[in-house]
Amino acid sequence: MSLLAGLRDTDRSLTKQAASRIPPGIGKVLSAVEETAESTKLWCGAATAMAWLGGWRGRKAAVAGLGALVMAQLISNGLCKQLADRPRPPKEWFPHDEVDDRPDSSSFPSGHTAAAVAFTAAVAPTWPAVGAACAVPAAMVALERVQSGAHYPSDVAAGAAIGLVSAWLTHRAPRHWL
């Protein structure tokens, strides 16, 4: 079996498991967190709170988080989705109606996950406690993207990788850029 065929089989299996094994109540919580993170509202709100309440460290963490988030969005949504025209998982795999409310854009990569991971990973070195707190909704967003039928697990993994690289690059940018 080729590597791509193995990846497709794994994606199919994990997507179907997430769709059918996550209890509806937990699915609703995941959806609520994802809705809060939609259009980066959650991360912008967190950055505002950090900048307002966290003094110098909070402002530094907020700027790093937002810088990484913007970079991740540009890479995932502005570049990768334009190059990879991957269809969303088939609607028949999902026993719920959340699958009807998903975007028409390419499935690869998950821009929501890229933004969540980028923000969290960029905040964590400056303010570890807040980074740890942000990791919880970031993980929930990633799981929801598969459970809802918006993405395959490999889309989410690619989004997470883009987020990590964006955070890493943000922390290595010359200080006058941030």
DSSP 47-69: HHHHHHHSHHHHHHHHHHHHHHH
Report the mean per-residue pLDDT for the chain. Answer: 89
Determine the average pLDDT of the residues in 94-114: 81
When pLDDT is averaged across residues 134-153 and rounded to a whole number, the result is 91
Distance of CA 65 to the CA centre of its chain: 13
Give the pTM: 0.90
Three-class secondary structure of residue 106 per DSSP: coil
- Determine the average pLDDT of the residues in 118-126: 97
Q: Which residue has the tokens 């395959």?
A: 152
Kindly state the DSSP code that residue 97 receives in the 8-state scheme: G
